Amino acid sequence: MKTSNSSTGAVLARLIECTRRGAQVELTLRNGQKISRFRIHEVIAPKGLMLASHAGEARARGIVCPDHGMRRDEYIQVRDIQSVRDELVDRHSESEGFFHRHPLPLNWERLARCPVAPKSE
């Protein structure tokens, strides 16, 4: 299981990579809180974001899938994340309705999106 620590640019790069692979991750926030079983559906940023100097403005959006209790949608700003760790190698795909519940905000762009679920016939 890989981990990326500290630098905001490194955290953003790791989030993008995990999102494209459909990896479920554990996030450690800078305040010490851990978010386990986070399925990142997309990484978004304000349009024209200069990634090197303003990477912290980007956001990871997805669903937290706890062992017990209800799933919840979550938005996490990259600047609040200290590290990203793969929890599962198994790929997940978008959860039904996520993008309808969370349309892309005006003047934001998608940096990465999880794989699309294959259509069942």
CA 65, 66, 72, 74 dihedral sign is negative
Do 13 and 4 contact (CB within 8 A), yes or no? yes
Q: In angstroms, how far is the first alpha carbon of the chain from the final one? A: 35
Interatomic CA distance for residues 45 and 13, integer angstroms: 13
Backbone angles phi, psi at 26, to 5 degrees: -115, 130
* Tally of CA atoms within 13 A in the half-sphere of 90 that contains its CB: 3
**pLDDT for 84:** 95
Find which of 20-29, 48-57, 107-116 is predicted with most confidence, using mean pLDDT.
20-29
Please state, in angstroms and rounded to a whole number, the distance separating the CA atoms of residues 74 and 96: 15
pLDDT tens string 67-93 = 788 889 999 999 999 999 987 655 555
Cut 0.75: pTM above it: yes
CA distance 72 to 80: 19
**Domains of the chain (ranges, CATH numbers):** 3-113 (2.30.30)
